[in-house]
């Protein structure tokens, strides 16, 4: 014989009843706090001045430098050459390469070209600093 379902106890299911909403919005609002006022004699904490550079300004300044523009051009040229090479090899009959592999090889070529160009620049700076001494 099957058991009868007994009525559930209020806390047996683990569910909580939604609390009743207040009838008016004014009763639900909390009183606003007043901001703490600083005494005029208290010194201001050292903060940023409007003339200071922010991190974003420094990044934009770096991106506008000719060295970064040249490095990006070198990387883009190497990536374009790698993609063109993969397209050329696909036409010859090498169907095994996918677009994912072409993009990966383009990224590697760009990184390698940028690294070579950057190391050349550092070497030139070192040579110039040795001559200056």
Q: Is the pLDDT of residue 79 over 60?
A: yes
Q: Are 102 and 82 in contact (CB under 8 A)?
A: yes
Mean pLDDT of 19-45: 58
Q: Which pLDDT belongs to residue 121?
A: 92
| pLDDT value, residue 2 | 62
Q: Look at residue 99 and tell me whether its pLDDT is greater than 80.
A: yes
Residue 93: what pLDDT? 62
For residue 115, pLDDT over 80 is answered with yes
């Amino acid at each position: 014989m099957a058991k009868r379902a007994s009525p559930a106890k209020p806390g047996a299911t683990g569910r909580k009843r939604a609390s009743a909403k207040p009838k008016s919005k004014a009763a639900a609002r909390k009183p606003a706090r007043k901001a703490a006022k600083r005494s005029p004699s208290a010194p201001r904490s050292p903060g940023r001045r409007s003339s200071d550079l922010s991190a974003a300004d420094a990044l934009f300044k770096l991106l506008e430098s000719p060295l970064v523009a040249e490095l990006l051009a070198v990387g883009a040229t190497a990536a374009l050459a790698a993609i063109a090479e993969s397209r050329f090899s696909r036409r010859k009959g090498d169907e095994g390469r996918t677009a994912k592999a072409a993009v990966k090889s383009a990224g590697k070529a760009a990184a390698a070209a940028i690294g070579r160009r950057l190391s050349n620049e550092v070497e030139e700076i070192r040579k110039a600093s040795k001559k200056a001494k």
